[in-house]
Amino acid sequence: MEPKFVRNYTGQSSKEMATDVESSRDGAQISRIAEITIDTVKKIKGLDANRYATKKTIAQGMLDIALLTANASQLKYILQVGEKHEFYTLLLTLITVSIVLQVTAGVLFVVLGSFFDLNKPEDHKKADILNNVCLAINVLIVSVDVIVNVFFMRDDEAKLR
């Protein structure tokens, strides 16, 4: 029975295979098992890249919102203290650059998540390029924020007032 099962399986869909095998008494049981197995394999193989990418983009977006909120708070503090802060101009410039880069990255992530279908091979190249651009922008954001945090001193608040 097994050789017939294998021979009938090649090149046919699971429903056609089940119809061919069902003609024998024992074959009906084998065909049902075969249909379930093939459907299960299709589900396992069919990892939806769009779903994964969407979840990844949403998680990245939430982290970006947290960073944007921290930068907005730093910007508010620097603007309140004013030029009394010894690194006022540097921090104002770097925080502004960071916020602009974050907004740009956010827009690019929206474009990446909504306009490209990863199941279509023709979108792979464009999505890969845009993803690399987003990565480069994120590296710049991290670099700028590290520099901001090196020069950002809130513990000197009492001295500045």
Q: Say how far residue 50 (Cα) sits from the centre of its chain.
A: 9
Q: In this prediction, what percent of the chain has a pLDDT beyond 70?
A: 64
Identify the CA nearest to 22 among candidates 35, 31, 34: 31
Residue with tokens 């987003």: 134
Burial of 105 (0-12, 13-18, 19+ CB in 10 A): buried
Question: Does pTM top 0.75 for this prediction?
Answer: no
Domain regions of the chain by residue span: 2-45, 49-160
Q: What is the pLDDT of residues 3-25, one digit of tens each?
A: 444 434 444 444 444 444 444 44
Distance (Å, rounded) from C-alpha 35 to C-alpha 14? 5
Q: What is the pLDDT of residues 95-142, one digit of tens each?
A: 999 999 999 988 988 888 788 777 788 888 888 899 899 999 999 999
